[in-house]
Amino acid sequence: MDPEPPAAAGQPDLAALQAEFERTLLGGDRKFTRIQVSERAGISIARAERMWHALGFATVPDDEVAFTDGDVEALRLVVALEDDNFIDPEMESSLARKLGQTQSRLASWQSAMFLEFLATAPLEPDEAIEVAGLLLPAMEKLQTYVWRRHLAAAAGRAVAGSDELARGIRAVGFADIVSYTRLTRRMTELELGQLIERFEGMAADVVALNGGRVIKSMGDEVLFVTDTAAQGAAVALALQDAVAAVDDLPDLRIGLCYGSILIRLGDVYGEVVNIAARLTSECKPGRVLADRELAAALDGHPSYRLRKLRRVNVRGYHHLVPYALQRADGA
């Protein structure tokens, strides 16, 4: 490969700036091959490569110097956590995969945000890299703060939870934008991005204000959970109220179920999740459909009224009985 041409007199050396910025991001120089990094961490090459792939990174050739002291330290931390029986060896790849997926999305968003900033800011390349270097510790500190607050909240829920919470019983809801596919065909990318931002921002606010948690957003759909059936009903109806109060958001369909779910690495699984998704597909715009278990849990609740509808056949479930959820008169 030909060497980089030297920078012109008075011009910044972009290659040197880029290398310096990379050192800042990675916490040091790239100086180890994948064989060397696994040897220094005290684990097999196969195990190190398995974790690298699970984190979402491509295979690195044997002779490529691609790893830093930070990579060695990260592998050593995983080994130490396993030695202390904090991480089950069978969960190692799953944990790495979930961390990689979460951080990848966050990094993609942050880099896109910074590029948008550069598009409007009159900065020279060296100035832009200097600004990025200043932002890095601030963003890192903010992310740690948010993580600790969420960890404290999750720990508090676990300690103060009821027997139902201990058994994984939750309300699960899907909120889905009506006619999303048709909307995407007539929107520009900018307009679509603004719609998704508005919807996800509104949904996150409403879910949090009513005691729920957003599990994931998928552009046209938000999956949320709450600890009680009443909280789930409050979230679902508040979401419909929030959409009805504005003119620039399309209608929603919401399916809501109550029962035992598997909570694994921040996601939720199980029949309750599946039925909530099926109910969403059967729901009319602007309405909320609930399952039999949620209707039973809210039976006699002064704030809600549930009306039994005729049975429906959906994929995987025959004779499913939905209930229309509404606020009680005067509630």
Span 304-324, pLDDT tens digits: 999 999 998 888 888 899 999
Supply angle C-alpha 105, 110, 111, rounded to 5.
Answer: 100
Number of domains forming the structure of the chain: 2
The half-sphere exposure of 68 on its side-chain side, counting CA atoms within 13 A, is: 10
Q: What is the pTM of this model?
A: 0.70
* Statement to judge: residues 128 and 90 lie in one domain: yes
Single residue among 132, 157, 182 that ends a domain in this structure: 157
For residue range 14-40, what is the model confidence (pLDDT) as tens digits? Answer: 677 777 778 878 888 999 999 999 999
Residues 140 and 206 grouped into a single domain: no
**Which tens digit of pLDDT belongs to each residue from 291-304?**
999 999 999 999 99
Which three-class secondary structure state does DSSP give residue 308? strand
Is residue 208 located within the same domain as residue 127?
A: no
Are 174 and 291 in a shared domain? yes
Cα separation, 175 vs 236, in Å, equals 8
Task: Kindly state whether residues 181 and 321 are assigned to the same domain.
Answer: yes
Residue 277's nearest CA partner among 183, 142, 172, 188 is 172
Predicted pLDDT of residue 1: 46
Q: List the beta bridge partners of residue 170.
A: 259
- What mean pLDDT is predicted for residues 276-301? 95
In the chain, % of residues over pLDDT 90 = 43
End of a domain among 157, 183, 201? 157
Residue 8 lies in a domain: no
Helices (H) and strands (E) counted in the chain, each on its own, are: 12, 11
- At residue 330 the predicted structure's pLDDT band, cuts being 50, 70 and 90, is confident
Nearest CA-CA partner of 43 in 76, 73, 16, 21: 76
170, 60: one domain: no
Helices 45-54/92-120 angle, 10° precision: 50
Q: Which of 157, 186, 206 is the last residue of a domain?
A: 157
What percent of the chain is modeled with pLDDT above 70?
92
Asked if 216 and 138 sit in the same domain, the reply is no
The answer to whether position 242 is within a domain reads: yes
Domain extent for 91: 14-157
279 shares its domain with 204 = yes
Cβ neighbours of residue 307 closer than 8 Å, sequence gap 6 or more? 323, 324, 326
